[in-house]
Amino acid sequence: MIITEVKAIRANRYCYAKITTDTGIYGIGESGSFGALDASAAQIENFGTFLVGKDPLNIEHLWQAMFRGSYFRGSAVMGAISAIDIALWDIAGKYYKVPIYKLLGGKCRDKVRVYAHVFAKTDEELVANCRKRAEQGFTAVGHLSPFLDEPITMPYEKTHVKNMEESIRRVHLMREAVGDDIDLCIELHRRSLPGEAVVLINEIEDVHPLFVEDPIPPGNNEAMAYVVSKSNIPVATGERLHTIFEFQDLLDKKATDYVRISLTTVGGITGAKKIAALAETKMCPVIPHNPLSPVCTAAEMQFCMSIDNLLICEYPDPDGALMKDKEHKKSDLVTNYFKAENGYVTVPDTPGLGVDLVEDVEKKFPAVVMPVMCRLNGDGSIRDQ
């Protein structure tokens, strides 16, 4: 069996790789390069010039060739490697007629615990949506921003005391809304400086969140380590990192309690397995990051089944709307998807990834370019969000 074609597919705000073989078996995978998806799509097809004619089952060898042959990486290149890697594992599963996790050492659990997203622009909406997720059976809710989901076009003008008091009050509202049967995954969206983050984290300690995610902007592991050292709540970060070396530095500096792996930007399933093993040596649980489509969700579920040090996995709503398309849902991109029931996803024994793109997905859901935007402070300077 050899690879005969590598194709990049752009649909709505997502980017996929489709790899075809001479046997008729094909695989799909997703890139998580976010704002650089066109660049990632170009790199998928560039890698295709190397991959055509190769044995798709030599996954580790092909991964090493793409990873080490790329003099410069970043999210566009690593997103391309990720999409290709997932597609290769999809082919392998179909070839051997088993789900991918069977090829990764078998299952470590019978089902995967997941947390649902909660979005809100007002306190009332925050409380209502937390309760809605609880009623849907989830035992954990995330993307819980104590700052609310304010539009990026709105200039930020708040005093420190108002920002802190409102944020602290909202976290307590979340706990009151769902009680003690639901875990809270607090998302700070990199919107605080280290000193601010420590103040906020220590003031919400009494509601016992499962973790606090990305309290400060990425890039300075010493600053993140300071926040971790001052926090009595576990801190989770890592979703913007791309390589095992970046994660090794994060762990060596004790700059996280839980590792956030973006499977679609760390080199796919192969890259994620390496990072999970690295985290295991530090007794550090893994929380996969996933704001993408049901293809990414399927890949993450296969990965989650195969690792022991999983804490919980992010689960974007498959019924969520597509970008700039109010008539269709994310699940419309695929022929089937993994459903959450009572806070867990049970992975079927379908060969390969377990999902497929609908026919002509790129024509039915034309690519949407993500705009380049940043939020401003009231004085016109840049604010992280």
- Equal fold, 3-101 vs 105-349: no
- Local confidence band at 228 (pLDDT 50, 70, 90 cut-offs): very high
371 pLDDT above the threshold of 90 = no
Burial of residue 112 (number of CB atoms within 10 Å: 0-12, 13-18, 19+): buried
Q: Region 219-224: what's the mean pLDDT?
A: 95
What's the pLDDT tens digit per position in 241-261? 999 999 999 999 999 999 999
What is the DSSP track for 11-70? ETTEEEEEEEETTS-EEEEEE--GGGHHHHHHHHHHHHHHHTTS-TT-HHHHHHHHHHH-
- Local confidence band at 385 (pLDDT 50, 70, 90 cut-offs): confident
CB burial of 7-20 (b: ≥16 within 10 Å; e: otherwise) equals bbbbbbbbbbbbbb
The whole-chain average pLDDT of the chain stands at 96
Q: Region 230-249: what's the mean pLDDT?
A: 96
- pLDDT in the model for residue 48: 98
Query: What gap in Å lies between CA 17 and CA 33, rounded to an integer?
Result: 13
- Contact yes or no for 81/62 (Cβ under 8 A): no
What's the pLDDT tens digit per position in 157-214? 999 999 999 999 999 999 999 999 999 999 998 999 999 999 999 999 999 999 999 9
- pLDDT in the model for residue 86: 98
- pLDDT in the model for residue 34: 78
- pLDDT in the model for residue 130: 97
Query: What gap in Å lies between CA 84 and CA 59, rounded to an integer?
Result: 10
What's the pLDDT tens digit per position in 41-70? 999 999 999 999 999 999 999 999 999 998
What is the DSSP track for 133-176? HHHTT-SEEEEE-TT----TTSPB---HHHHHHHHHHHHHHHHH
- Local confidence band at 71 (pLDDT 50, 70, 90 cut-offs): confident
Q: Where are the domains of the chain?
A: 3-101, 105-349
267 pLDDT above the threshold of 80 = yes
- pLDDT in the model for residue 261: 98
Q: Region 303-309: what's the mean pLDDT?
A: 98
Burial of residue 114 (number of CB atoms within 10 Å: 0-12, 13-18, 19+): buried
- pLDDT in the model for residue 150: 87
Query: What gap in Å lies between CA 75 and CA 35, rounded to an integer?
Result: 9
- pLDDT in the model for residue 307: 98
- pLDDT in the model for residue 372: 84
Closest by CA to 290, choosing from 32, 14, 107, is 32
Closest by CA to 123, choosing from 154, 95, 90, 146, is 146
H or E, element range at 211: strand 211-213
For domain 3-101, give the CATH number.
3.30.390.10
- pLDDT in the model for residue 326: 86
- pLDDT in the model for residue 277: 98
What's the pLDDT tens digit per position in 120-157? 999 999 999 999 999 999 999 999 999 999 888 999 99
Query: What gap in Å lies between CA 291 and CA 314, rounded to an integer?
Result: 8
For domain 105-349, give the CATH number.
3.20.20.120
